[in-house]
Chain A
Amino acid sequence: MTKKKRAVVEREDVVVKFVGDSGDGMQLSGNMFSDVAALVGNDLATFPDFPAEIRAPQNTVAGVSGFQVHMGSSKIFTTGDQVDVLVAMNPASLKANLKWAKKGATILTDTDAFDDKAIEKAGYKQDPLGDGTLTDYNMIKAPITTLTKESLKDLGIDNKTAERSKNMFALGILYFIFNRDLKPSFHYFEQKFKKKPELIEINKIVLQAGYNYAETVEAIESVIQVAPAKMEKGRYRNITGNVGTAWGLLAASEKSGRPLFLGSYPITPATEILIELAKHKSLGAKVFQAEDEIAGICSAIGASYTGSLACTTTSGPGLSLKSEAIGLAVMTELPLVIVDVQRGGPSTGLPTKSEQSDLYQALFGRNGECPVIVIAASTAENCFYYAYEAAKLAMEHMTPVILLTDGYLGFGSTLFRIPKMADMPAINPPMAQPNDPNYKPYKRNPETLVREWAIPGTEGLRHRIGGLEKEDVIGTVSTDPLNHQKMVDFRAAKVEKVADFIPEQTIDGAPEGELLVVSWGGTYGAVHSAVKKMQQEGKPVSHAHFHHLMPLPKNTGKVLRGFKKILVPELNSGQFVNYLRMKFPMPNIYQYNKVQGLPFMINELTEKINQLLEEK
């Protein structure tokens, strides 16, 4: 064994993926690896990739759990299409992930895990480490389990405990490859295992052993350096989309002075929002885990009536269950934030995979003429800001707002520049004043068409609202035909008028020309990266990413009409594209769709864009 000085190779960005059995600790390795990258100033995006089952059968492809990190010295927009470095702890995880590895990628495997039984269980006919399958890759075949146990032999601990820390050995190897300092991770162990000091020692030893071992490995010819990214000055943290959403709601509650109420029911991939808010009772958040999705939203409607910033969080199937109650909130004109963290559908579909296929449901999925505001976040980081905006619009415009995120955004993390609450926009709900002699439940502000929020307990404002159609202004039950027409029109116009309060649509690139790529929601990173790449190649392509879907920004028609062709890529069968066609009938709107529970790859998009540019 020799230790040689390695050459340092500078890379602008690198994608690393940790994969193994569900119990192999891949999420922890991935998180620790990205924390260290963040500390040295890399920008990054991460995504956990795990099965719907908690512990699927060992060593099977179904049981593979993964964590992907994309880090770079410039702004990172996606979690990365293809992997530069793959850590595969068993044959099944290699089998499931080899297709994502770039040609020439570095692949680290635990040779101890490649026994005949595991190889067969993974679906390989013979050992992939020996049959030439991997000749195109830079292989680091290390007996990780054996080496882990060996490094701990002086401690006299049992085999099982020793084996459990093999993920730290692999992480140590990666730290060497990426020239990382081990100290932050040592510090992390000291914090995490305060109550189990023996684990601090074990993890430190194994991590160091992995690092030291890597120094002796011939296959590691050079170490990779990813320089710090040039980022806006400020204080940063890591945030997932779901935590960002939860915090955005809390921030809106504080800013508006309206206490936060969440009525929710556990559902993948939205549950983390419920879990996160349940932690923050010190901020006055009242979090109610209801008996079902319907009770979640109905309790929120009750809380909204009493003056809370009321929210309910769910995913596709849950949104279906909430449809009738959203209608009640539309009819009673109460503020309500409904967060839909989209997943693959229909029905139970692909619970842990991401899609954009709930857009129709958000826009139209209710009985009667039932307009609501619909907005969509586009990065894990801006889930915070769009949740805040959803709450602001709901309260200021007295209407339900559906915020669409997705599993990819919700589980994924990015760096988050911490805002100051003083800088967040003001929220001014239209509270009715006690004993206002002119108060009427459905009297509207003539400019916004918004009714006042009169909360129980307030003197002189007793009134009843409900799901039956109400008479304009006075709010008693009415079946009068012309009144119904008027109220239907008011509810639609109220939501349309929100366009006066949201920013105009921006265009990334030339404001007119050959081709505009239009996207919305969680595909921002991939579409942005693809367009950017083509712009750098001198192609006449621009990009418009929509966050406001209902109502659309006022200049939407103008934006679309500036281009000869429009391409709308979506992770559904074409929902936004058809919505645009309905609103702006034009022959030149093209679509590109993928419904596989997977994000867009940048090269898929550039290929499609090129094809459209070439077609005359």
Chain B
Amino acid sequence: MDFLNMTVERSNVQLTKTDFESDQMVKWCPGCGAHAILAAVERVFPKIGYRKENFCMISGIGCSSRFPYYVNTYGIHGIHGRAAAISTGVKIANPRLSVWMATGDGDSLAIGGNHFIHVIRRNVDINILLFNNQIYGLTKGQYSPTTPMGKVTKTSPQGTIEHPFTVGELVMGAQGTFFARVPDNNINLMTEAMFEAARHDGTSIIEIMQNCIIFADKAHSDITGKEVKDETMLVLKNGEPMLFGKNHEKGIILRETHLEVAEIGKNGITVDDILIHDQYNQDPGIHLMLAKLAPPVFPMVFGVIRSAMYPTYDDLVGEQIKFARENSKIRNMDDLLNSGDTWEI
């Protein structure tokens, strides 16, 4: 895969799933969506092509954040909300590492919200797996920044009175260069998004609609459930029209400044009227509109919504150091100590 980041060393042997299996017991609840995410990661990492020692998995606190213990890479299980800051330090200090971050909606959107928006704004080249289960799981069921308004939880006995974040909207608001949304019940979609995130230079956010079987079971099933998903999920493919429905009979069109659902064959709509997905478009306008779509009027959009090329923070750090090294008279500490006004006594 010669599109991969050239600064990360590649493996000269073909790796397999077992190269990344940890010897630790996986302690997520049976039936938790996180198991599927782990399976997807174990499928993706050996195939990316990097040396296994060059993977680094960072996390914060929460169910999602136990992830580093369950994959055999270098890794840090950090503190609540700070995974993005720790990852930033890892990547700046050593750009030759492929840095992955496991986090949740509480970890990254509440206590770690500041770090989350700033890592995105800087476009540090890390890959963030955001397990969005719309609940605090590890502390046993309090509402999170993505819990739908009105939802009854342990800390909202009369229903929440907060407006939830839409992850994609937040990412684009922070000038995100990569955003994908995937369900935890479709390993192929998950792995495709992970490969694309690995391929993207910059901060990649993959929002995984993950099910918490204990405290927010079926939170996403109105969208990702087998019975409804044909009508409620639109899976994007770059360069292809945005179609959904059982027989791909519906699509998204742009009318004036808004997106609309149109049915092919009705009102003179043909497949040529349907928007073609361009994930590489630098303008985030359509990407933002797509990220915000949701039932009942629209389907929710899945797959890679945005993947735009911008310089990464870590590359720019490297360039400035290179420039300074080539142009500064101060080459070592003795030079610095003796620079400027000095005199002999």
Contact = CB atoms under 8 A, between A and B. Distances in A.
A237 B94 contact: no
A597 interface: no
A466 B340 contact: no
A303 B77 contact: no
Contacts of A233: 345
Interface in A38-62: 38-39, 41
B77 A299 contact: no
B90 A303 contact: yes
Contact of B82 (A303, A325, A465): A325
B333 A283 contact: yes
Looking at A39, A303, A462, which has the most chain B CB atoms within 10 Å of its CB? A462
B85 A306 contact: no
A318 interface: no
A477 B69 contact: yes
Interface stretch (B53-61, B185-193, B252-260): B53-61
Interface residues of A, number: 68
Contacts of A458: 53
B320 A306 contact: no
A418 B342 contact: yes
B24 A476 contact: yes
A419 interface: yes
B292 interface: no
Interface string B318-345: 0011011101101111101110111111
B68 A464 contact: yes
B146 interface: no
B148 interface: no
Given A283-B333, A301-B86, A308 B93 contact: yes
A459 B53 contact: yes
Interface string A237-262: 11000000001001100100001010
Nearest to B338: A418
A418 B53 contact: no
Interface stretch (A12-20, A63-71, A287-295): A287-295
A305 B345 CA distance: 43
B58 to A, nearest CB: 7
A302 B93 contact: yes
Interface in B268-291: none
B288 to A, nearest CB: 23
B48 interface: no
B52 interface: yes
B332 A421 contact: yes
Interface in B45-101: 51-54, 56-59, 61, 68-69, 72-79, 82, 84-94, 96-97
B114 interface: yes
B118 interface: yes
Nearest to A384: B337
Interface in A402-424: 418-421
Contacts of B341: 35, 237-238
A236 interface: yes
B338 A306 contact: no
Interface string A483-509: 000000000000000000000000000
A324 interface: yes
Contacts of B89: 261, 263, 288, 298-306, 310
A465 B58 CA distance: 10
Given A457-B94, A468-B77, A286 B343 contact: no
Contact of B330 (A251, A280, A332, A462): A280
Contacts of B79: 298, 324-325, 327-328, 467
Given A235-B342, A235-B344, A247-B336, A456 B85 contact: no
Nearest to A290: B85
Nearest to A259: B93
Contacts of B228: none
B114 A295 contact: yes
A534 B103 CA distance: 63
Nearest to A231: B345
Contacts of A558: none
Contact of B53 (A298, A462, A468): A462
Interface string A358-398: 00000000000000000000000000000000000000000
A295 B78 contact: no
B317 interface: yes
A282 B96 CA distance: 20
B100 to A, nearest CB: 12
21 contacts: A233-B345, A234-B345, A238-B341, A247-B333, A247-B337, A251-B337, A263-B89, A280-B330, A288-B92, A298-B86, A299-B88, A300-B89, A304-B89, A305-B90, A325-B82, A332-B76, A418-B338, A456-B97, A462-B72, A465-B77, A477-B69
Given A305-B86, A456-B74, 10 more contacts: A232-B345, A233-B345, A291-B85, A298-B79, A302-B85, A303-B92, A305-B89, A457-B51, A457-B54, A466-B77
Interface of A: 35, 38-39, 41, 231-238, 247, 250-251, 254, 259, 261, 263, 280-284, 286, 288, 290-292, 294-295, 298-308, 310, 324-325, 327-328, 332, 418-421, 455-468, 476-477
Instruction: Please provide the 6 A-B residue pairs with the shortest distance between their CB atoms, ordered closest to farther.
Output: A466-B77, A302-B89, A299-B89, A282-B328, A298-B85, A303-B93
